[in-house]
């Protein structure tokens, strides 16, 4: 269960998403693929997108220990939890984000992510993501 987030906080989360310089990302192994990373204004709030020929193949958003991902092949959604809120030796290294599937979709979190992304509606990149919902 995710804590209730009000409209003002949802708007602030959406507004805080900033694109990170492409040079900081590991290049994809496929010529026609591009990775895009947006980082939010609070720790552990990230949006990663992989595009092939300008179309979304995969995306993942993490926020406060939860994860939502979508993959084109097969057209599927997955929710899960991350290890980012745990404090042990493995998670001390910030690049060690691990995601464990819930097994069932967390519809409350899916709707929260959609609400956050809707605050950026009208921007082509976010409209493309929103079209997946």
Query: Could you give the 3-state DSSP secondary structure of residue 36?
Result: strand
How is residue 119 written in tokens? 């605050």
pLDDT at 123: 96
User: For 83-90, what is the mean pLDDT?
Assistant: 58
For residue range 37-83, list pLDDT tens digits in order. Answer: 999 999 889 999 999 999 999 999 999 989 999 999 888 999 988 87
For residue range 8-48, list pLDDT tens digits in order. Answer: 999 999 999 999 987 666 665 567 888 899 999 998 899 99
How is residue 116 written in tokens? 């956050």
pLDDT at 30: 66
Asked if the model's pLDDT at residue 107 lies above 90, the reply is: yes
Predicted TM-score (pTM) above 0.85: no
Which residues 6+ apart lie within 8 Å of 30 measured at CB? 52
pLDDT at 66: 92
């Amino acid at each position: 269960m995710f804590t209730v987030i009000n409209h003002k906080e949802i708007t602030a989360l959406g507004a805080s998403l900033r694109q990170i310089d492409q040079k900081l990302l590991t290049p994809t192994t496929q010529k026609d693929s591009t990775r895009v990373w947006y980082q939010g204004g609070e720790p552990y709030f990230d949006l990663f997108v992989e595009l092939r020929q300008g179309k979304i193949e995969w995306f993942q958003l993490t926020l406060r220990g939860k994860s939502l991902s979508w993959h084109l092949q097969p057209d599927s959604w997955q929710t899960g939890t991350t290890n980012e809120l745990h404090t042990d030796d493995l998670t001390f290294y910030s690049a060690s984000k691990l995601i464990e599937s819930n097994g069932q979709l967390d519809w409350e979190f899916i709707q929260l992510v959609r609400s956050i992304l809707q605050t950026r509606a009208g921007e082509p990149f976010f409209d493309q993501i929103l079209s997946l919902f």
